[in-house]
Every structure is written in structure tokens, then in C-alpha cells.
Amino acid sequence: MSEIIRLEHIWKRFTGVTALSDVSVSFSSGEVHALVGENGAGKSTLIKVLLGAYQPTEGRIFYEGKETVIESPRKGSELGIEGVHQELMLVPYLSVSQNIFLNREIRKGKIFDVKEMNRRSQELLHDFSIDIDVTKPVKQYSASIWKMIDIARVINQNPKVIIFDEPTAILSEREVDSLFSSIRRLKEKGIAIIYISHRLNEIGEIADKVTVLRDGHHIGTLPASELCNDDIVKMMVGRDVSQYYSRSRVERGEELIRLDSLELKKGQHDISLSVHKGEIVGLAGLVGAGRTEVAEAILGINPILKGSITYKGKPFHPASPSQSIKKGIYLVPENRKYQGLILRFTVANNIALSVFSRWAKFFYKGKKEATVAENAIRKLSIKTPSSKQLVNNLSGGNQQKVVIAKALETSAEFLIFDEPSVGVDVGAKEEIHNHMDSFVVAGGGILMISSDLPEVVGMCDRVYVMYEGRIVKELKGDEVTDNNIAEYMLGSKVAEAGI
Amino acid sequence: MKRGDIVRTLKGFPPVVWMLILIICIFSFTGTNFYSVNNLLNIVRQASPYLILAMGETLAILVGGIDLSVGYVMGFCGVAVAMLMNMGLPFYVAILIALVIGAFCGFINGLFVGKFKLPYFIVTYGTGNMVYGLGSIITGGVSQPALDRGFRFIADGTLLGIPVVFFLALIVFLLMKLLIKKTPFGRNLYGLGGNRESLFLSGVNVVKAEIMVFTVTGLLAAIAGVIFAARSASGHPGFGIGWEFDAVAATIIGGNSFSEGKGSINKTVLGVIFIQILRIGLNISGVAPQAQSFLIGFIVVIAISIDVIIQRRK
Amino acid sequence: MNKEKAYSLFFEKGLYRIMILVVMCVLLTCISDSFLSLSNIMNIFRQASILLILAVGATGTILAKGIDLSLAGVMSLSGCVCGYVLNAGYPVPVAILAALSVGIGFGFVNGFLVGVVKIPAFVSTYGVKYIANGLALMLMGSNIFFGFPESFLFLGVGFLGPVPVLVIWALIITAIMYVFLERSKFGHQIYCVGANSTAAFYSGISTLRTYFMVHVISSTCAAIAGILQASRMNAAQAGMGESFQMLAVASIVIGGTSMAGGEGNVIGGILGALILTLITNGMNLLNISSQAQPLVTGAVIVLAVFLDVQMKHIEGKKAVKAAIA
């Protein structure tokens, strides 16, 4: 294994922030090198420096032994460095094959050789056991197929270095397996692989080496075989975080909400569940199983075709979020930057977003907003220089706390959390879980949607599992285990039991 | 099995097809001679420059923007071609220069929105008015005659009994198809509208790509302007006022969308045919000119509403 | 610290627009003797008044990340309805009421198309403009109605002491809009919806009501402008508002209200309207042909947006430099 890229004393500074300070690390061919760290630790910046999307403020990069300036993604690509990005890097209304050959088209004279590109794309995807019509726009296909197309696109360019940025976030277990086997194939071909993931178990499975970043500093690089998950977490956070979930014992109270065989859009039916005061109820399932749709139906965002909802003993017909919120229901949405926050507004504006209209008949109370926000910032220990800071400048975890503060200000009794800890670092994750716990201790009820199985198992009293638009199982007490949930959400138990 | 296929194909039709069938049915009752050869040729003649303009607008909309200057650019290029011919230049040279002027206007728009990142809407509004003002100053607000016979042939001439403008529109359409399907232009077009970041990361110069798109939009507006000037045998800076709305309306009614680069110029053709048949149909149905303006606005708003609602259902 | 504050006031809060205004006044005073005459200043204020009413009215639509391209059409139609009703011999209040209800009605139509059907505002309001203009044409043909009663003319040309009534209208409406947009919770809701309508909706702000609100306000102000214009000109005809469309939108944008939504203010719009009126006035004083007017206005719009975007860019760069140093 030979070294291919070496970074020496890389610094990167932005407006008021130092994203990377004095990072030196090297990557070798034929090796899977995992890069871990909390959100905001500098992983994304480091990748962007490698890809040529950012220029380091200071420091030197050596590529194949020679000092190199990667001044643009184009240059990076010419050198043989390619990335599979976290966001879906495809053009929705271009065909699958045109996406795979984006800016690397095969040409016949001046014009594109579409037939040849289609043929090659078909072959390439076949390696991932995906057989789709490559002449159709990618928009038609699901997010996980997009990811695989994106990966095929990158591999097609025969790079020497591939950077995977959280590739498995939206993949099913089977797809993860097929991805890992192709990563191993690439490794054997002598390609250097840089792998970023929040899922520590995956790192143990696939990585040869692990580099940990914290607050832009390089904490250490060690062989994966010498590290266990607890060590990595300790290095990432810089302190001991109990990897365990702590829940207070709460007496289950009266029923808060009950959904009776709801039918939402096509293919989503038989949705029945209940949440009592004092409990956290999980809603597990794959991405696309219909979990978010259930949450949005309760809020009145999506229409309910059939079935009924009972809230606090009375029939409830959700019409709009504003009405549901008045009744004490609140959704902490999945996409916090888009659905949860106004990024261009201040922390105070955001915390008061759902309540400022309640304070007066006509006037907007700026001063009251500031006081309320100051209190919430203290109560939830949101890390921000002041309540006047723009939310955009906060880290993922603190942004999520702002959303939670926003929810708590409405004095809601029933909270729905949709993926509460996605994009949240380990430390903040624990704090968010504590807030959820104290909310139910105070007599509220929570419905939590999550793809993070340890989180579901650790936090929930009961769990409903959704599979292809239906709730197929309710798991209680001892039944709530990783294995049980996984089997139902992947559908294997469902077929067996003939549900 | 077969019946299911037919139903599915019918359901797959964009709403504009149904609306088109509807208005054709209505006009075949209300308008005498709706199906006459003369009327059909009339539709073709009028639709041709309009289609060329609307295709340009579609490009701007597909990249997630809009170009409100096309109507004014069109008028200005008509003025330019007329004045250049009056200065004694042969008509083809005049046309060539007019096309260059149009492309240059588009280039300037592209520079503002692509390089300086100014909002599409307001900038093209501004540049459009600048071009209009410039045209007004040059002409003193007086219409410029364009009587060159060779030049008039573009609008009046026929080949095999079919107007030359039809062939012009067809050629432009086919060239645009080729450009979009098989060259980097098309890839950039959909990439800019659909996922600018990935286009950039795959090494495309997105600023240049966007300037290119707007330049082509300007060029197409110029072609439309030249044809229009040939038809009316004159150029006036105000000739194109309002055409930008028709171009945007045709693009949207055809089923193109402002987001994600969803759409194609095929759809625009349908939108153009819809609006053109609407205009001519109202005319031959004897609707008073005052009421036409109202009815067209009304029907276009309804048509766009229907399209938007149906697209959302899907 | 003080320097920083001044800098922020100057660029971020857009105080440089006042500077531009002052410089323009000084220049015009130097160039033209008649600029500072009482009659010219009155003229400027009167010209600015109608534009101001339109601009502050439509500010809400742009704050909500939309636009109102129908305001000139609605203005024309309202003016025509007002003139038509007056000519038919009805009393002044009836005419005004009729014109106002046209405005409110069109506001609801725009709100419906933008909020319920969800057509982008610049497409739907553009279409509505044709409807309004078409209706005005159907009502009036190519006629000009004139010779309105004295009591009606007072609204547009009368004086209260030394102050033109028209200017008082403009001041009242501007003050109302200032309080509404920048001091009321409804105004704050408009900013929120403009900045991120999805987050506002999920947080319980009624986006639908917001869209209706901004469009009804905009169209009502357009109707008021139409009434006042009819009174001021003592005439009503189809298309009478057309020239105001671009000026109104330009005032708002020159005033620093962002097309991206959720950012901007009423004061900026006032300054924008004054700057544009001064340009027109200056061109008249200098005997520049009216044909050049679209060129100048267009150039000012482009320049204003350009400066605005560049200013923000420079701010960003300065912040980076400060962070590194």
C-alpha cells in the first residue's frame, strides 16, 4: 500500500470560523480510510479541500509524491479524485445514462453518442444488480437508486481516490451490503477510499484506518483493528459520553391521541396507533415506508382519506398546522433547515416563530421575543453568542435545539419528532434525548420517528413498525429489540406471518 | 391489456392536449371557416415567430430563471434590421447583424444573472426597458419601414404552398432539439435547472453555461423579431411588448415547470399552438377586440391554473 | 466600534440611498434654476404621491417572495370604474366605494391564484393584469371620461392650507403601511412567509391568509391610486395606470427590498419612489425626450440591484478579512 495523497499542516478559515486547524494526514491506495467526527468537526471541509471545491488557507497537498494545488473540482477530477456526496448529485430530468456520463460524455465527432452511453450505463449498473431503463430521467427512481446511480457515475470515471460522504444514510440493508462488496472490489483494484459515516458499526466493518477530527483539529489516526466504538466516541467528543440512553421511569397516563385505521394517499392504509401521556412511542420503518406522511397527516399538512383521530378523548380533524398547534400538537420536522427553521432569521425570531402571534392582537412584541428567547437559550443550553445570532450560523445540534425550543414555547402536550438526531453530533444528541425525557416526565407524550435503531430501542416504551405504507406490528416491553424491529421493517417477518 | 395501455397513454397526455381539443371543438362551431386552408396557413404564419420566441423563453425558465426582456429584444432587433436595410445594407447582412445584436442582449442578461447573480426577474425587466428606451431614442418612436423584397419573402413567401416561416420555425426547432439532446448545451441546461452543484462539481463552468443559455434565448428572440419585422414590413421598438407574457404563458401552459429543470421544448410547442389557436379563434368568432384582451387573459389564467393543479396531483 | 456601527447603518440599513437622494437634489439645483422653485417642488411631491401609494402597497407582495404585476391594471380599472360611476350621475362616495371594491376583489383573485392554486406570482398577476386591462377596455372603449364634480377633484388637486391633499393621502397610507408591515404581528408573519414559507407553515403561520393579505392590500392601494389619479387628471381612460407598473416595482427594489423574500422595508421603498420621481423630474427640467425614460429607469433598476448585491458581497468579504486579522 503506497501513499497517494498527503496533507501537511492544512488550515482553512471562514468568516469568523476556523474549520480546519493544522491537519496533517495521509491516505494510501488500496485502503479504506474512515474519517469520523461530530458535525462541525471539519470533515466536510476536509473533503472539499481534497476535491478542490475549497482552497486551504494555509498548508500543502502532495499528490503521488508531488506538491499539487487542486484549484477546482475539475482539476481534482483530472487528478483522479472523485466524491460521492451526501446530497444527491444528480440532475433530475436528465436520463440515467446522461447522469452517469455527466460532463464525461462519449462523443461521435461533435455530438454525443447516446447509444453507446446507454449501453455502458446498463452494464455498469448491472454490477450493482440494478436493472432499470437508463434512458428514463432519474427523477422517476427512488432515492436509494439515485445513490447507486451516483456511485456508478463516480466509479465510471476510473478514479484513483474515491471519497464517500455518508453513503449509507438512505440505503436499505441489502443495498448497503452490495455497496460494501463493491467498495471491497475497488479496494482490491488499488483505489484509495475515504469513507465518512456516523454509523460506527459500519466503520468497524469496512475501514482499515480511522482518522478522528474534533473542532477542526486532527485528534489521531489509528488502525481500525485497534479501536472499539467507545474509543472512537471518546476521541470524537473529547469526554466520556455514555453511549447508553437513559430514560426516567414514568407512570403511563391517560390516552393522548389515537389514530383509527387511517388511510392516507394511495398505498398507505390501516394506520392505527395510540400515544399515552408519559410515554415515548417509536414509529420505525424504512425511508419511504410512510412514517413522515403519518406525522404530516396529524398536523393537517396531508389530507386524511379515511379513518378517524381522537385527541384527548374528542374527535379531531386536522385541517392545518396552525390549528393543530393551537390544540397542543407540534411536529419537530425531519428537514430542519427547510421545514423547521428560517435560516436567515435570528435565533430569537425562530424560537418565537410559533407563538409571537399569540402575544398581542395587533402589535409584534420584539422585546418580549428577546426575553423569551434568552430564557429558552438558557433552559436548553443552546450554544449561541446571543439571541440575535442568525440560526444559519449554529451547528446542527444547536439548530435542532432551537426547533425544540420553538416547540416547547407553544406549551404543546403531544410532540412528534421526525428523525430528531439526524445530522446532530453525539453530545447534542444526548442533550436532545434528555429534553425528550423530561418532556414526558412533565406529562407530555411523544411519537418519535427514527431510522436509528439503537435510538428507537433506547428511547421508546413501545414501537410501531411500518412497512410499505402500513403499520404491521406493535412491539411492547421486551419485544423492543434491534432484531425484531429490523425484521418487521424489512418485511421478512411480515411475509412469514402473512400480515 | 390493450385497453389498459390506451387508458394509460391517454392519462399520460399533458392537460394542454385536452384543453386544445376543447377549444378546437368550440371554435369549429363559433367560427366560420375555422378549418379553411387559409385559416390554417394563418395560424402557421403567426405561430412561427411566436414559437421561436417561446422556445427561447423555455430555455430561461428551464434553468430556473425567466427572461422578461425577450419581447423588447424582439422589437429592437426588428428596428435594427429595418434601419440597417434602409442604410443600404443587403437584407442578409442586416439580418445577420440583427441576430448578433439579439445574442448580445442575451449575453448581457446572462452576464448579470450568471456572473453577478442578480435576480432574473428584475434584471431582465430592467434590461428589457433599457433596450426599449434605446429603440425609442433611435427611431424617435416612429415605425421604420422594411420593404426589401428579398426580406419580405421570409414572411410572405411559400415553398410548395407552405409558408417559408413554417420551415424556418421547423429548422430552428430541430436544431434546438439536436442542441439539447446531443450536445453539452442540453446537459448544461437541465443541470443548471436541476442540480447546479453537481454540474459544478463535475467540472462544468456553470457561469459560462448560464451565459450561453441566455445568449441563445436572446438569439431566438432576434430571429422572432426579424420574422415579425418581415411580416409587418416595418420595425418598431414597441412591437414585442406583451409577447414575453405570451411566451411565458405558452411555456407554462405546455407543462414546463420553474423548478428542477422539468420540461422540454416539445411541451412549449403545444403551449404555443394553444395560445395561437385561441387568439385566431376569438378573432374569427367575431369577438370584439376589447373583449379579446380580457378573454385571453382570463382563459390563460384558467389554463395555467388547471395545469398547475393537475401537475401537483401527479 | 462606532465606525462599525456607522458602516452597518450606511450599507446594511441602506442609508446610502438618502445620500444618493441628497446628491441628486444638489446636482439638479445646480443644473436647473427652476428645480428649487415652489411649484416644482410641489409638483415632485404630487408626482411622488401616487407612486408612493402603489409602492408601499405592493411592498408586502415582494416581502412575501412574490410580486404584483397587476397593480397598474387594477389601478386603471378602478380609475375607470370610478369615472364611469361618476359620469352615470352617482354621488362621489358611491363611485369611490365601487372603485375600492374592484381593488379588493382583484386582491382576492390574486391571493387565490398565488395562495390556493399556487401559480408563481409573477405569472398569475401578469395574467390578471390582462384581465383587468381587458375589463377596463370593455367598460370604456376608447373613450375618455372627464368633467368630474368639484368634491371629487378636491381629493387629487385640493389643498389643506399649504399642503396638497394628495400628499396627505400618501403620508397617511405610508404611515399605515409602515406600522402594519414593521410593527404588527401580521407584518412579521409576512416576513416569515417570505423568508421560508414551508417553515412558517409548519410553525403554524397561515401562509394562505398571508398571501391573501398582501394581495388585497396591494390591490386596494392600487385602487386608491386609480381614484386619486382620476381625480388629479380630471379624466379616466383605459390604460391610465400603465406607466406606473414598472416605476412601482422599481421603487421597491431600488429601496432594497429583496426579490428573495423576507428582507426589506417600507422606508427604502419611499426613498426609491423619491429617487425615481426626481429622475423623471430632472429629465423634464433638462428637456430630455420622454422616449429616453425607459432607458434611464431600466438602467437605474439594474444598477440598484447590482449595487445591492455587490454591497452584500463586500460586507461578506470584509467580515472574512476581519475574521482572519
All CATH 3.40.50.300 domain ranges in chain A, comma separated: 3-237, 255-497
Instruction: Kindly state the helix (H) or strand (E) to which residue C104 belongs, with its residue range.
Output: helix C92-111
What is the 8-class DSSP label of residue A196?
E
Instruction: Give CA–CA dist C76/C70, Å, rounded.
Output: 10
Under 8 Å CB pairs connecting chains A and C tally to: 86
Contact call for B252 and C123, based on CB within 8 A: yes
Q: Which has the minimum average pLDDT: A226-240, A348-362, B200-214, C220-234?
A: A226-240
Q: Which has the minimum average pLDDT: A405-419, B106-120, C270-284, C286-300?
A: C286-300
Contact A65, A196 (CB under 8 A): no
Contacts of C295 in chain B (CB under 8 A): 129-130, 132-134, 136-137
- Neighbours of A (≥3 Cβ pairs closer than 8 A)? B, C
Q: Which has the minimum average pLDDT: A210-224, A240-254, C56-70, C122-136?
A: A240-254
CA distances from B240 to B71, B96, B208, B220 (A): 4, 19, 28, 13
pLDDT value of residue A329: 95
pLDDT value of residue A497: 61
DSSP helix/strand/coil, B38: helix
pLDDT value of residue B79: 93
All cell numbers assigned to A184: 471491497
Contact C178, C62 (CB under 8 A): no
What is the 8-class DSSP label of residue C184?
B
Angle (deg, nearest 10), helices C92-111 and C121-140:
150
Which residues are CB-neighbours of A143 under 8 A, at least 6 positions away?
A88, A170, A287, A288
pLDDT digits (tens, 9 = 90+) for C151-200: 999 998 888 888 889 999 999 999 999 999 999 999 999 999 999 999 99
pLDDT value of residue C324: 41
Instruction: Give CA–CA dist A61/A76, Å, rounded.
Output: 12
φ and ψ of A218, to 5 deg: -85, 110
All cell numbers assigned to C232: 388629479
- Domain A3-237 of CATH type 3.90.1150.10: no
CA distances from B287 to A163, B35, B275, B283 (A): 65, 18, 16, 6
Contact C292, B133 (CB under 8 A): yes
pLDDT value of residue B214: 96
CATH topology of domain A255-497: Rossmann fold (3.40.50)
Q: Which long-range contacts (C-beta less than 8 Å, at least 24 apart) are formed by C29-32?
A: C31/C282, C31/C285, C31/C286, C32/C282, C32/C285, C32/C286
Of the ranges A334-338, A467-471, B148-152, B169-173, the best mean pLDDT one: B169-173
Q: By the CB < 8 Å criterion, does B116 face chain C?
A: yes
Q: Which of B 112-171 lie inside 8 A of A, CB atoms?
A: none
Tell me the average pLDDT across B86-109.
92
All cell numbers assigned to B204: 462544468
DSSP helix/strand/coil, A202: helix
Contacts of C322 in chain A (CB under 8 A): 16
pLDDT value of residue C325: 40
Instruction: Give CA–CA dist A353/C192, Å, rounded.
Output: 8
Q: By the CB < 8 Å criterion, does B238 face chain A?
A: no
φ and ψ of A109, to 5 deg: 65, -125
Q: What is the mean pLDDT of chain C?
A: 88
Q: Name the nearest CA neighbour of C236 among C141, C130, C132, C146.
A: C146
Phi-psi region of A88 (alpha: psi -120 to 50; beta: other; left: phi over 0): beta
- Give, for all 499 residues of chain A, the pLDDT tens digit: 688 899 999 998 875 567 888 899 999 999 999 998 766 678 888 988 998 888 898 899 999 888 889 888 888 888 889 888 877 788 888 899 999 988 888 888 888 888 999 999 988 888 777 788 888 888 888 777 888 888 888 888 888 999 998 887 667 777 788 888 888 888 888 899 999 887 777 888 889 999 988 878 888 888 888 877 777 777 776 655 555 677 888 888 899 999 998 998 877 888 999 999 999 999 998 777 888 999 999 999 988 998 999 999 999 999 999 999 999 999 999 888 899 999 989 999 999 999 999 998 899 998 999 999 999 999 998 988 888 888 888 877 889 999 999 999 999 999 999 988 877 777 788 889 999 999 999 999 999 998 777 788 889 999 999 988 889 889 998 888 877 887 787 776 666 665 5
For chain B, the structural domain boundaries read 45-241
Instruction: Give CA–CA dist C81/A10, Å, rounded.
Output: 71
Tell me the average pLDDT across B129-140.
90
Contacts of C206 in chain A (CB under 8 A): 320, 322
Q: Name the nearest CA neighbour of A419 among A407, A434, A429.
A: A429
φ and ψ of A14, to 5 deg: -120, 180
What is the ipTM, given to two decimal places? 0.86
Contact call for A73 and B197, based on CB within 8 A: no
Q: Which has the minimum average pLDDT: A57-66, A269-278, C13-22, C208-217?
A: C13-22
Q: Which of B 43-102 lie inside 8 A of C, CB atoms?
A: 66
Contact call for C202 and A333, based on CB within 8 A: yes
All cell numbers assigned to B293: 384582451
Q: Name the residue among B129, B296, B300 with its Cβ closest to that of C294.
A: B129
Q: By the CB < 8 Å criterion, does B300 face chain C?
A: yes
B200-211 as b/e: b if 16+ CB within 10 A: bbbbbebbebbb
What proportion of chain B, given as a percentage, has pLDDT over 90? 33
Contacts of A301 in chain C (CB under 8 A): 201-202
DSSP helix/strand/coil, A228: coil
Which residues are CB-neighbours of A389 under 8 A, at least 6 positions away?
A346, A347
> Which of A338, A353, A404 would best serve as a mutation to test chain C binding (most C beta carbons within 10 A)?
A353
pLDDT value of residue C196: 94
Secondary structure, 3-state, chain C:
CHHHHHHHHHHHCCCHHHHHHHHHHHHHHHHCHHHHCHHHHHHHHHHHHHHHHHHHHHHHHHHCCCCCCCHHHHHHHHHHHHHHHHHCCCCHHHHHHHHHHHHHHHHHHHHHHHHHHCCCHHHHHHHHHHHHHHHHHHHHCCCCEECCCHHHHHHHHCEECCEEHHHHHHHHHHHHHHHHHHHEHHHHHHHHHHHCHHHHHHCCCCHHHHHHHHHHHHHHHHHHHHHHHHHHHCEECCCCCCCHHHHHHHHHHHCCCCCCCCCCCHHHHHHHHHHHHHHHHHHHHCCCCHHHHHHHHHHHHHHHHHHHHHHHHHHHHHHHHHHHC
Interface residue ranges in chain A relative to chain B, Cβ cutoff 8 Å: 51, 53, 72-74, 77, 83, 85, 87-94, 98, 102-105, 110-112, 114, 139
Contacts of B202 in chain A (CB under 8 A): 73, 77, 102-104
What is the biggest distance separating any 2 CA atoms in chain A, rounded to whole angstroms?
Answer: 75
Contacts of B301 in chain C (CB under 8 A): 113, 119, 124, 127-128, 131
Instruction: Give CA–CA dist A205/A193, Å, rounded.
Output: 14
Q: Name the residue among C126, C133, C301 with its Cβ closest to that of B126.
A: C301
- What are the DSSP E strand ranges found in chain B? 144-145, 158-159, 162-163, 234-235
Q: Name the nearest CA neighbour of C200 among C119, C277, C115, C303.
A: C115
Contacts of A356 in chain C (CB under 8 A): 185, 188
User: Got the DSSP string for A341-409?
Assistant: --TTSBHHHHHTTTTGGGS-SSB--HHHHHHHHHHHHHHTT---S-TTSBGGGS-HHHHHHHHHHHHHH
Sheet containing strand A306-311, edge to edge, reads A271-276, A255-263, A306-311, A314-316
| pLDDT above 70 (res C317) | no
Phi-psi region of A255 (alpha: psi -120 to 50; beta: other; left: phi over 0): beta
- The model's pTM is 0.85
Cell 481516490 belongs to which residue?
A161
| pLDDT above 60 (res B202) | yes
Contact call for B201 and A98, based on CB within 8 A: no
Contact call for B291 and C134, based on CB within 8 A: yes
pLDDT value of residue A78: 85
Sheet containing strand A17-28, edge to edge, reads A17-28, A3-14, A58-63, A66-68
Q: By the CB < 8 Å criterion, does B198 face chain A?
A: yes
DSSP helix/strand/coil, B13: coil
Q: Name the nearest CA neighbour of B95 among B143, B148, B131.
A: B148
DSSP helix/strand/coil, C262: coil
> What is the architecture of the domain spanning C45-241?
Orthogonal Bundle (1.10)
pLDDT value of residue A182: 84
Of the ranges B282-286, C187-191, C240-244, the best mean pLDDT one: C187-191
Higher pLDDT, B286 or C94: C94
Cell 371629487 belongs to which residue?
C152
DSSP helix/strand/coil, C26: helix
For chain C, the structural domain boundaries read 45-241
Contact A184, A30 (CB under 8 A): no
pLDDT value of residue C225: 96
| pLDDT above 50 (res C127) | yes
